[in-house]
Chains A and B, each alone.
Chain A
Amino acid sequence: MLVYTIDLSREINEGFFYKLKQFGDGRLTVTKRVTEITLELLQNIRSHGNGLTHASLSIIKHESGFTWQSVNGVSSNVVKPLSEKIHHINTLSGAELQQQHKQILANSKHIQAINPGLGLYRIALRSQSKLRASFKPLGSALSTFSLDINLATHS
């Protein structure tokens, strides 16, 4: 088992892509999915997390694939809608995920910014697994959001 803990204080650079390539299993599809899921989790932490104080991101490589453990702070008032969104994503089939991902992207034509949920759809599509989320209160206004993702690489 190998663990790669991402240094969240560093910007993404060539070394980041190189390390993830080394961390993969040599197959292009796997390397690309590992990188894409990591990029989406990083984007989630940076754009929607509540600073880096409570944030961490690790990738575990094991015999059946890869597991990501992502943690970041979120405002407590987003816990309910975020839980509901993740629950909804977990009820969708692959085809439904694809369809809703496309619909959200299409709807983004008419708004300024991208829908923050789109990254979760993409993670679910690329990992082809359920999103495992949990929340823990950190006082009244803040909670930690833990998200575990699995990517099975058996073929």
Chain B
Amino acid sequence: MKRLQIDATDITPSVTLDAEKNIFELSGRSVADNPSDVYQPVLQWLNNYARDPRPVTLVSVKLEYFNTASSKALLDMLSALSFIRNAKVLWYYQEDDEDMREAGEEFFELVNVPFEFKTY
């Protein structure tokens, strides 16, 4: 399956979705007023990947900031993982950044996907 690579900007995250190399990462800032340019291709990629996923899929989410416009896009992305067997979210947050941890917990409660919380 073709790799999806989206480079970060000051206001949008970097995305690497590479089934061959087993890399599934979203990181940086997600604070654009209209984040669908980033998340639409991600959703499409994940929906295709769900048809023939690896035995285990670990998706790293390491966001510094995200705004409410990105909340729905993130929720849609994380919800799409529930259709991938044995998918798990690795939710990274800076030590002491309890707000980002709580944001991860909120998403965890809204989607049917296991989360692991990790500090960096």
Contact = CB atoms under 8 A, between A and B. Distances in A.
Contact of B65 (A28, A35, A101, A102): A35
Nearest to A29: B96
B75 A39 contact: no
Given A32-B65, A46-B33, A105 B106 contact: yes
B72 A113 contact: yes
B20 interface: no
A140 to B, nearest CB: 29
Q: Chain B's interface: helix, strand, loop or mixed, by majority?
A: helix
B99 A12 contact: no
Interface stretch (A71-79, A118-126, A130-138): A118-126
B67 interface: yes
Contact of A32 (B68, B71, B99): B99
A4 interface: no
B71 A108 contact: yes
Given A13-B10, A28-B96, A43-B33, A109 B67 contact: no
B7 interface: no
Interface in A1-51: 11-14, 16-17, 28-29, 32-33, 35-36, 39-40, 43, 46-47
B109 interface: yes
A70 to B, nearest CB: 15
Q: Chain A's interface: helix, strand, loop or mixed, by majority?
A: helix
Contact of B110 (A29, A43, A106): A106
Contact of B68 (A28, A46, A119): A119
Interface residues of A, number: 30
A114 interface: yes
- Give the size category of B's interface with A: 20 to 34
Contacts of B109: 102
Contacts of B33: 43, 46-47
B65 A36 contact: yes
A36 B72 contact: no
B86 interface: no
Interface in B62-102: 65, 67-69, 71-72, 75-76, 79, 94, 96-100, 102
Interface of A: 11-14, 16-17, 28-29, 32-33, 35-36, 39-40, 43, 46-47, 98, 101-102, 105-106, 108-109, 113-114, 118-119, 122, 126
Interface of B: 10-11, 29, 31, 33, 65, 67-69, 71-72, 75-76, 79, 94, 96-100, 102, 106, 109-110
